[in-house]
Structure 1
Amino acid sequence: MATPSSRYDLTERTALVTGAGGLLGKQHVAALSEAGARVVVTDVGLTQAEAAVAALKQNDAAADLIALAIDVTSLDSVRAANEQLAGRGITIDILVNNAAIDPKVTSTPGVMHSSRFEAFPVPQWQTEIAVGLTGAMLCAQVFGGDMAKHGRGVILNIASDLGVIAPDQRLYRQPEVTREEEQPVKPVTYSVIKHGLIGLTKYLATYWADHGVRVNAISPGGVFNNQDPAFVDRLTRLIPMGRMAEVHEYRSAVQFLCSDASSYMTGQNLIMDGGRSVW
């Protein structure tokens, strides 16, 4: 019988993380590398991917990391990346669909705020859906399709607590803005995309269940990143644990979901939000 620690061991496995240059993307890479995996660090441009590798190497010079550019909105780009890796003898065992656009909530006085549903621009909807949802589908189609052919693999979709609950728009209210139509809100796209990722997780988990491919999601809560203190205060009042997450606190969960430690788990969404969705 394997020891508990060995169930988390990802030695001799190769993971690919999309959107790896972002705040949590680098943490996912670090978590997988820490567990022994070789990690393909991808972002929309090679410069961003190489910068992420350089930053991660500062903390772990021995990490086996490969920088690669992938435009997840383009099937041709995803296929080209897969072919490039195959040409180097690299097969992807673990796919982490992390790429997303997280729109920032700001306010411009005097106009209906474009984040509001009534004024939300269709091109922005299409762009964010293309990156956060269609991109996950395309990467799963290419890399997950290969996993199914090989009879083994893991896909982890990075969702959000806002894929389980609706945004509490009171968090984003700005007291100096007096007209309701000028109040900024969390845009419709982010929550819809994250709900969609959980749906994609369930679909693929059953679709490839008999091909040895497990598919799960994780829904992180808000991560502290020096946000405005007033916003942090409002948000933490909604969290039973009374704080936002530290940036490193999802690492062990990623290791669990991507390793044999979760070998009998598929189609599930692991919620880690400090209890926010319970209230």
Structure 2
Amino acid sequence: MTQPVGLAAFDLTGKTALVTGAGGLLGREHVAALAEIGATVILTDLDLAAAQAAAASLRGTHGDRVVAAALDVTSEDSIRAVLEAQGPIDVLVNNAAVDPKVTAAGGPELSRLEHFPLESWDFQIAVGLTGAFLCARVMGAQMARRGGGVILNIASDLSVIAPDQRLYRKDGVAEGDQPVKPVTYSVVKAGLVGLTRYLAGYWAGQGVRVNALSPGGVFNDHPDDFVGRLSQLIPMGRMAGASEYRSAVQFLCSPASSYMTGQNILIDGGRTVL
């Protein structure tokens, strides 16, 4: 099969992409990345108002090729309803997740493993991992029936390393009450990499490629002390800017990566090489 080469390989004109959890910081960037190379992008979020606001912020550049829709990734009925309303999907970006904030709020520190609520575990796994499975099952099966497509799962550098809990320490807080990055985040992101590999093998014969992108820490008005601590762990000495993943998304979601499937691409300023 002849594949496009050069910059033509990045062209998604005439293709439709769907990004889950796209009302947030990186979700908007993924939408912008795909729209930049010609795709019509369905920007979805559980919060329709957030999806509409994000779409409105991008329409000045990308016009009516950015469409907002409400989507509950934990509901197969919701996924099927969006697919029915929007038509066939060529590219799926599984970005929806719960990013639990690390705080020391007094009383038992609920982020710690010993006190972490089971309902929080169930909810965060449902959104970040089960949601990706359901979206992939519904939309990937549709891609397979139509002869191919692309699924990109957004994981994290914490899919391959453990959180360095020293980053989240608070002065004046007892050791047993120190806040931590919750267990669910690592489990979800590692699970997405496993899901990526499974689906890549499962649908290889139907032309559906599945890869994962694992970003490092993205600056989003973090406190200076946190930025300083994290930057010391990164060989490049800084956190990522939100827009620095656009080119990777374009590569992984386009024919430019036509011979790549089942891979987890780490872009973390070098943190995981040490």
Q: TM-score range by the shorter chain?
A: over 0.9
Deviation (angstroms), 1:63: 5.2
Determine if the alignment matches structure 1 residue 69 to structure 2 residue 74: no
| Residue number among 80, 88, 92 corresponding to 2:89 in the alignment | 92
- 2:104 matched residue in structure 1: 107
The one-letter code sitting in structure 2 at the alignment partner of 1:198 is V
Misfit runs of 4+, over 6 Å: none
Q: Percent same amino acid among aligned pairs?
A: 63
Q: Deviations over 1:118-173 (max 9, x none)?
A: 10000000000010000000000111110011111000000000111000000001
Equivalenced residue count is 272
The one-letter code sitting in structure 1 at the alignment partner of 2:43 is V
- 1:33 matched residue in structure 2: 35
Conserved? CA contact 1:163–1:194, under 8 Å: yes
Separation (CA, whole Å) in 2 of partners of 1:28 and 1:108: 33
Q: Which residues of structure 2 form unaligned runs of 5+?
A: none
The one-letter code sitting in structure 2 at the alignment partner of 1:153 is G
Separation (CA, whole Å) in 2 of partners of 1:3 and 1:204: 26
Determine if the alignment matches structure 1 residue 167 to structure 2 residue 168: no
Determine if the alignment matches structure 1 residue 277 to structure 2 residue 272: yes
Separation (CA, whole Å) in 2 of partners of 1:213 and 1:126: 29
The one-letter code sitting in structure 1 at the alignment partner of 2:31 is V
Deviation (angstroms), 1:45: 2.7
Q: Which residues of structure 1 form unaligned runs of 5+?
A: none
Deviation (angstroms), 1:55: 1.4
- 1:82 matched residue in structure 2: 83
- 1:189 matched residue in structure 2: 184
Question: TM-score, normalization: structure 2?
Answer: 0.97
Deviation (angstroms), 1:61: 4.7
Separation (CA, whole Å) in 2 of partners of 1:63 and 1:225: 28
- 1:244 matched residue in structure 2: 239
- 1:130 matched residue in structure 2: 126
The one-letter code sitting in structure 2 at the alignment partner of 1:147 is M
Separation (CA, whole Å) in 1 of partners of 2:273 and 2:243: 22
- 1:265 matched residue in structure 2: 260
Deviation (angstroms), 1:3: 3.8
The one-letter code sitting in structure 2 at the alignment partner of 1:151 is G
Separation (CA, whole Å) in 2 of partners of 1:213 and 1:31: 20
Over the aligned positions, Cα root-mean-square deviation in angstroms equals 1.0
Separation (CA, whole Å) in 1 of partners of 2:178 and 2:213: 30
Separation (CA, whole Å) in 2 of partners of 1:63 and 1:253: 24
Question: TM-score, normalization: structure 1?
Answer: 0.96
Separation (CA, whole Å) in 1 of partners of 2:85 and 2:62: 25
Q: Deviations over 1:197-235 (max 9, x none)?
A: 000000000000000000000000000111000000000
Query: Tell me, what secondary structure is at the counterpart of 1:249?
Result: helix
